[in-house]
Amino acid sequence: LKNLDFIKVNNIAALGWCMGGHPILELGLMQEKSVKSLISYHGVFDGVKYYANESNDLGETSPVASTSRTKILICNGRKDPFVQENDIEKAKNLLENKGCDVTILNFDDVKHGFTNPAQDYN
């Protein structure tokens, strides 16, 4: 994206839904100073234990790459069977330790796929 003329290379944002919400976690951990805003909608947090240093050393904190903090919004359905509450908190703590500004919106009585009007039919 950075090589495209119409892209503001110092002001990149990314959105992810479901499995695409996981790369939002990855982008936040990369500490790329050009990434300013990230949003995850009913994302999954598989591997949070891996990143949070429960099974290896990749979760250790490191110096923040930029003085401008990446803002991350995590939108989650509290009744999402694919996401455990403690995994969201671990992800938040991990991202904050990497210098990100994280906001979590947990929607009561909402399941996975809440942005898709047909999700109740699945």
pLDDT tens for each residue of the chain, 122 residues long: 778 888 888 888 999 999 888 888 888 888 888 899 999 999 888 766 555 554 434 444 444 444 568 999 999 999 999 888 888 888 899 899 889 999 999 999 888 888 887 776 65
Half-sphere exposure of 11 (CA within 13 A, CB side): 3
Specify the pLDDT at position 47: 66
Q: How far is CA 99 from CA 61, 62, 78, 92, 108, in A?
A: 9, 9, 26, 11, 28
Specify the pLDDT at position 60: 45
Least Cα distance to 38 among 85, 99, 114, 82 occurs for 99
Q: List domains and CATH numbers for the chain.
A: 12-69+77-110 (3.40.50.1820)
Helix (H, G, I), strand (E, B) or coil at 14: strand
Specify the pLDDT at position 23: 87
- Can you give the pTM of this predicted structure? 0.79
Specify the pLDDT at position 53: 56
Specify the pLDDT at position 7: 86
How far apart CA 56 and CA 65 sit, in angstroms, is 22
